[in-house]
Amino acid sequence: MTVYLDHAATTPVLPTAVAALADALARPGNPSSLHASGRAARRTVEEARERLAASLGARPSEVVLTSGGTEADNLAVEGLFRARRAVDARRRRVLVSAVEHHAVLDPAAWLAAHEGAEAVLLPVDASGVLDLDALHDELAAHADEVALVSVMWANNEVGALQPLADVVAAAHAQGIPVHADAVQAVGQVPVDFGASGLDAMTVTAHKLGGPVGVGALLARRGLALEPVLHGGGQERGVRSGTLSAPLAAAFAVAAEAAVAGRSSYAARVGALRDRLVAGVLGTVPGATLRGPDAARRLPANAHLTFAGCEGDSLLYLLDAAGVEVSTGSACQAGVPQPSHVLLAMGIREDDARGALRFSFGHTSTDDDVDRVLEVLPGVVERARAAGLVATHSVAHAVAHA
Amino acid sequence: MRVLAALSGGVDSAVAAARAVDAGHEVVGVHMALSRSRAQFRTGSRGCCSIEDAGDARRAADRLGIPFYVWDLSERFEDTVVADFLAEYAAGRTPNPCVRCNEHIKFATLLDKAIALGFDAVCTGHYARVVARDDGTRELHRAADAAKDQSYVLAVMGPQRLARALFPLGDAPSKAATRAEAVARGLSIAAKPDSYDICFVADGDTQGFLRSRLGDRPGEIVDASGEVVGHHDGAYAYTVGQRRGLALGRPAADGKPRYVLSIEPVANRVVVGSADELAVGGLVGERAVWFGAAPAAGTRCAAQVRAHGTPVPVVVERADDELVVALDDGASLRGVAAGQSVVLYDGTRVLGQATVRACLPVAVPA
């Protein structure tokens, strides 16, 4: 039996969302068409938009449907930067936390490389939580030059919840818009766009039981946002492209379910997570829990490093034992790199290499935790031996070179 | 057996892995990321370095239905193979990076890590045969297809590591047959071109790579008498036996073409001379490895000094940590550089391998 503990990568689609998707897929119609089929498709999209908005504390008109989280993040960072800079050429600083997802970091870096932006990485503490003093210092020194601030609601690797209320207050005091990537937060912690004071917020379907391929940027009414995709002028002209009624419908069903069931779900996966962490720390030598304490952490997230181990060895051995987890870090051509999140937390590169993220979801059970606790001690022991071999063989090779 | 199949993204390693699966082994595919600049996409992919190669390897594993991982060995590769390549050229020697990769990466780091993780053997797409003898020892032999034989670059691994190596293509009749097998197995990389260049020299420009990493080091080109006959921008750009590209200002006194005879790294000089002066009477090798007992003095066998070179008959004078061989009567060998690998063969069987440290002069008839 496979133990799937990588729900933060993607989580199985809820049966109700599959049904909504299949139902809408069977009906023809482009939501932009004016005939009866088009009107029916548009009604599906707009009802989905209303349900999404209601679930997330937003107005329907604030929901800009996208292809997913990455597109929404790109739209927020690039769209806000260009709109703000067009009004005031001094506003070239893009403030992002050092632990953002690459969907935020890379557009900021791209703007710096190609459009004269200055990407400012705001530091985090050892648990991965934003250093608010650094934000205040930055705003005190450069408020007139800041285009936007983007700080995620919850970190995807170590689960750290960020102090968004403080970020919003500090930025708004200077008239600076704030974006938050909330793809990991929805369904795990209360997320209310209106109450948060955020100007823009990214959500995606496949992290909460909906299908891959649809997400949204919630954008406050009146927010100036330059489009990234140009074309037919859908979504207030901010995001062109034919709207997918089936994906929107399935997204809405999943989001509604995730938000409605959040409280009991969080308690359930939180208990599983706590049992896993306690078990691992009690049985596996050299295991260290990374990230903040439970009160400031996503309930479904556990992140541990194993001294002397390579993440790819751990991943292989667990996979062979039927346990599916993640190193939690970005991959290029499948090559695990030391995580920028862990490095930003001040963790040494050697320690960062031996990282595993366990993320729970709606299909997780106590049996999953039992199985991990059964196999992990042996896996870590073996991975550690392989790590030592690798170190030894390089010493051997250099002696010969 | 639990077998780790090294998948480069090319045809040979994919078919080798497929054969290992057919043989009933539990096979896991691993692509080694060796290049520091992984982002590179290359046209006409040349081997184990690009994202395209990693993707091809992944698709081969998909097709075979085996697990697949990418292991980042780029740091180790840079510290051993690339560093050795640069240091050897800087020292006036001629390295073979494929030999060093087999020595330090494929049958060292990769194999050791595989064993530690519970694998029994590493499988590669090399063309060479492993023959098990009745007493349990294993011999390394030339491949069935002499044109594809790669025993020369494998000999460096020695007998212990050979015991953990699997070369399923050793009896493949030809590369064409391997390609045909890839087609029959539905492997999408069946038509991928062979790799010939040095994998970490992205554009195939070895001289440019050396210049970028070692810098210009101008010096003199002299003849055997010490007379300056030209200048160079870096002695590392020259190889013993090289004729083209010397750009000497004036012809030799005898009007015959001139070749690089030796590199003098300390003086930063390149010595040139006639073809006759390239002739070698014997070889001295270091860091020798032997498959079984080292051959006794007086043993007649064949020595090969290049990947696809013709073996020449030699007589062993000494074989332990060092190797000394003299050319057998009537044999001739020209233009051997320090740093090259010398492999001794008895028929198809590899006796051992050493790295050339020096060449012996041709014996003057008494």
Query: Which pLDDT tens digit goes with each residue over B107-161?
Result: 999 999 999 999 999 999 999 999 998 888 899 999 999 999 999 999 999 999 9
Q: Does B178 touch chain A (CB under 8 A)?
A: no
The residue annotated as part of the active site, out of A86, A126, A169, A331, is A331
Q: Which of B71, B76, B116 is opposite residue A385, by nearest beta carbon?
A: B116
Helix, strand, coil shares, percent, chain B, to 5: 30, 30, 45
pLDDT at B136: 84
Q: Which residues of chain B have pLDDT under 70?
A: 36-50, 196, 249, 365-366
Residue of A nearest to B52 (CA): A333
pLDDT at B245: 78
pLDDT at A395: 40
pLDDT at A329: 64
Nearest to residue B292, comparing CAs of B325, B326, B319, B311? B319
pLDDT at A338: 84
Pairwise CA distance, residues A58 & A52, whole Å = 8
pLDDT at B40: 47
User: Whats the size of chain A, residue-wise?
Assistant: 401
Inspect the interface and report whether the beta carbons of A389 and B115 lie closer than 8 Å: yes
Neighbours of B326 (CB within 10 A): 15
Q: Are strands B323-327 and B282-290 parallel, antiparallel or unpaired?
A: antiparallel
Which domains, from first to last, does chain A contain?
3-9+262-395 (3.90.1150.10), 15-260 (3.40.640.10)
pLDDT at A336: 65
Q: Are strands A118-122 and A301-306 parallel, antiparallel or unpaired?
A: unpaired
pLDDT at B37: 58
Nearest to residue A143, comparing CAs of A116, A177, A99? A177
Q: Does B39 touch chain A (CB under 8 A)?
A: yes
Pairwise CA distance, residues A154 & A2, whole Å = 27
Nearest to residue A181, comparing CAs of A202, A196, A160? A202
pLDDT at B145: 95
Inspect the interface and report whether the beta carbons of B79 and A398 lie closer than 8 Å: yes
Write out residues 269-308 of B within 8 Å (CB-CB) of A: 287
Which domains, from first to last, does chain B contain?
2-184 (3.40.50.620), 216-276 (2.30.30.280), 279-360 (2.40.30.10)
Q: Which residues of chain A have pLDDT under 50?
A: 392-401
